[in-house]
Amino acid sequence: MSTEVSGTIESRPGARLWGPDDEDSVWHAAIDLFLLNSGNAYAALACLFGVRNQFGFRPLAEGRGIPGDASEELRAEYAPYGDSPDVHGTTWITWAELTSADWQETDISGTRSRDMVAGDRTDWGPVWSVMRTLGALHGAENVRLVVWFH
């Protein structure tokens, strides 16, 4: 049985303008992960989110759930999955966390680095490109990727 990943990149443009606590600093869906063709390479899912982690990576963002302040668009997209027994994990990570991660850190065998399995030169490159652009516009802490696995 395979594991698929779905999700959305969100940004919070108002936070940079008015501050993160302002009532107009809400999250907005930017782009569906499906459009960026991130694939479901298990080593990447393991090192990023702890899913199917037989590789022994230290995941960057495991089991955080759907953010309480998720955008209305993301909530609508996730709703059909929410009560499904087929969903086995939800989490999120900010661009700030991704940029501060050690991309040379390896799995338990020492043969695969985070960069090798989920870096810019992998199927995740387009995801990082969008997040990098939004981070430059709105601030790295105001851009996040929210994902779920089914």
pLDDT profile of the chain (150 residues), mean per 10: 90 87 90 87 95 95 96 95 85 98 97 97 97 97 96
Burial of residue 130 (CB within 10 Å: 0-12, 13-18, 19+) is buried
For position 78, what pLDDT does the model report?
A: 94
Neighbours of 119 (CB within 10 A): 16
Q: What is the pTM of this model?
A: 0.94
**Are the C-beta atoms of 7 and 22 separated by less than 8 Å?**
no
Cα–Cα distance, 119 to 11 (Å, whole number): 21
For position 39, what pLDDT does the model report?
A: 73
For position 11, what pLDDT does the model report?
A: 97
Residue 128's contacts (CB-CB under 8 Å, 6 or more residues apart) are 98, 119, 120
For position 1, what pLDDT does the model report?
A: 66
